[in-house]
Amino acid sequence: MILKSFKNAMEKRPLPGFLSMYPAPGIIERIGPDWDWCWIDTQHGEWGIDNAIQGVRACNLIGIFSLVRVPGKDPGTIAKILDTACHAIMVPMVENKEQAEAIVDAARFAPLGHRSYGGRRLIDLFGRAYSHADNPQPLIVCQIESPEAVAQANAIASTPGVDALFFGPDDMALASGMPMDQPRSEDCFKAEMATVATAARRHGKIAGGVFSLAGLRQAVGLGYHMVVCSGDVPLLAQNSHTLSRSCRATLGNDKPHEGGGIASLY
């Protein structure tokens, strides 16, 4: 099993990963080798509980680590995703130690927790001993996404079984009354990011987050090693936009076709 090596690798150096929101294993296969790990998003992305396993398989095929974000804290969902044999699971909106303990309880086998045994893919890949305590287990990543969670970061990080804290700036901004369609400075949440990184380091845990190129050096300086640098959506949209503008400039046609289509929701 190579589950434990994900944490070991991040402890040695920062690992850049990318976010997958569209349920297309082919995209992971094509661009995944450029990255060290892939975040498969079943919370806000279009991946679902039933097809996330295909994203995990794609990561296995190309030899990168897989992290799946679940939609919430439901123990059944957590267990179902863990049965995909992903390398890590990320749970959103963790705000206190009690919630972190409940997540660990759902994600770990007895005597540490109450996760049910019998994952079909896990047995097929690793045999019936996959649940043994001396075998590496998937990382548990708690998202810190609110002022309340930042205030409790040290307590969350101290929870046995939690492996990483992942800072989420968007919900933090929303809770702070910031407009979601306006840019934020790289230093906007520097103090909160430092608090999360310090809590993780104090308890021997990993700190993670999403960072632009401009903010990446600052984040690594604070101690972040689980770093998301891009995703299928911006890579697709930005490159499409750039190429279409160049194409239209060459053709002398700078306006897109005014055809039908769904009205913009956002």
As annotated, the active-site residues are 44
Whether residue 18 contacts residue 231, with contact meaning beta carbons closer than 8 Å, is answered with yes
C-alpha span between 41 and 205 (Å, rounded): 22
Q: Note whether 26 and 16 are within 8 A (CB).
A: no
Q: Which of 176, 46, 16, 149 is nearest to 92 (CA)?
A: 149
Q: How many CB atoms lie within 10 A of CB 24?
A: 16
